[in-house]
Amino acid sequence: MTNELLAAFITKYLAQGTRLHHPGYMSHQCAIPDIGSAIADLVHGVSNNAMSLFEMGASGVAAELVVSEWMLGKVGWNPNDAGAILVHGGSLANLTALLVARHHSFPEAWQHGMPQNAVILAPASAHISVARAASLLGMGSRAVCTLPCDRTGRILGAQIRESIKTQQRAGRTVMAIVANACAAPTGLYDPLQDIAEACHAEGIWLHVDAAHGGSALLVPELRYLLNGIDQADSITWDAHKMLRTSTLAAAVLIRHQVNLSQAFQHGADYLFFDDNRPGPDLMHYTIEGSKAELGLKIFLNLAHRGETGLAEYIHSRHHAARRFWKMVRQRKTFEVLGEPESNLICFRYADAPGPDSDQLHIAVRNQLMQQGTFHLASSFVDNRRWWRATIMSPSTDDATFSRLLDAIETCWQELSMGKRGHNS
């Protein structure tokens, strides 16, 4: 392929992609990669150090250890006692954390399999990867039982202990409770302190899925949202969301390192043997056989922008979401699910609920995408369809929000008239 053909191909390739840098992109929770992360991707793309073995990437291991200690410290844990591993995405992070929880509850499960009475308690708004993890762990997705929640999908902390006892009376063993910080469909945080107290009183493993919202730990004014997270047993925290790395870079954080160390029990004599290795083999702590240099992406982002710079970005997107929330409320044609706690807001057209209304919400989203002007996500909460706006781009501002609301009103009227004409 000549340079000219390559340039033409890349141009066409990018034209069919999704422009995360566009101010109208407010859909899925993917970061606009910062320059440090982009450089790290280039370094790894050329060097290809698969650093799950120390001898295959000593520098990558060192970068991961430094970043892991930093993240553990942000949670409030002592890195000498706690453990961490970086993996390719939040789904794999949740699976890894629940595998560690399985070992904690059922130490023989690695060799002998899971008992049939094991369950996981989680809100209905839990990430899809929780049910998938239950299936992969041999429990079946039916083993994920729904916790009582309010209309916005937040766990009712006061009912946790009764939910545990209900399962116990039915002869089931609660392997873990999963809480959101924040929930992917709503951007709202579960009451971690109340949940942690209930879990500790009952001796139940608490996993906090902070894939999106964990980065609020960097912002002093937002840290209250995560009160109680230091009492969790395991945490998922994605860097490829609010820490502005490329996909993928997710951390599995474990309060006690020994639980992570004991969870994976397979050996391989072609990989591990007594040869006095000068550094740790991270393969002992992950499902993955090979790993990219994920820590380098986070390390270089921190080096480039600093913790303060990343915190300013996170705080600015939270502020932008609040401004958007206020603008939505000022227009009587819209309603909001609730006050935003993150850079994510759910809103909808203020009309009578019903299947026709839900379909119109989907149709408006599709039309905006076809026009190439705005890209929104969608959530189904409180038995209704909502538009979900995730404010990720630094260039998304109040003028963008105003244009979005105008465009939605126009699309809604056009599609509503078309539907009425079709029905007549």
From the list 15, 7, 31, 36, the residue with the least C-alpha distance to 242 is 31
Would you kindly state where each structural domain of the chain is located, as residue ranges? 3-30+307-423, 35-302
Is 91's pLDDT higher than 70? yes
Q: Is the pLDDT of residue 42 over 60?
A: yes
pLDDT at 392 over 60: yes
How would residue 105 be classed by pLDDT, with cut points 50, 70 and 90? very high
For 31-38, what is the mean pLDDT?
96
Q: At what angle do helices 58-75 and 294-330 cross, to 10 degrees?
A: 40
Q: Would you say how long the chain is, in residues?
A: 424
Closest CA to 30 of 317, 389, 392: 392
| pLDDT class of 209 with cuts at 50, 70, 90 | very high
pLDDT digits (tens, 9 = 90+) for 272-300: 777 778 889 999 999 999 999 999 999 99
pLDDT the model gives residue 420: 56
Q: What's residue 278's pLDDT?
A: 84
CATH code for the structural domain at 3-30+307-423 = 3.90.1150.170
Q: Chain-wide mean pLDDT for the chain?
A: 94
pLDDT tier, 156 (very low <50, low <70, confident <90, very high otherwise): very high
CATH of segment(s) 35-302? 3.40.640.10
Between strands 205-209 and 234-238, the pairing is: parallel
pLDDT at 243: 98
pLDDT at position 293: 97
Residue 80, pLDDT > 60, answer: yes
C-alpha separations of 235 from 20, 82, 323, 403 in Å: 27, 11, 30, 38
- Spatial CA neighbour of 237 closest among 350, 74, 414: 74
Confidence (pLDDT) at 270:
67
The answer on pLDDT for 424 being more than 70 is no
Render pLDDT for 226-255 as a digit per residue (tens, 0 to 9): 999 999 999 999 999 999 999 999 999 999
Out of 29-33, 134-138, 270-274, 383-387, least confident range:
270-274
Share of the chain above pLDDT 70, in %: 97
- Output the six-digit token pair for 422: 């079709």
Supply the pLDDT for residue 351.
Answer: 77
Please give the Cα distance from 351 to 408 (Å, whole number).
14
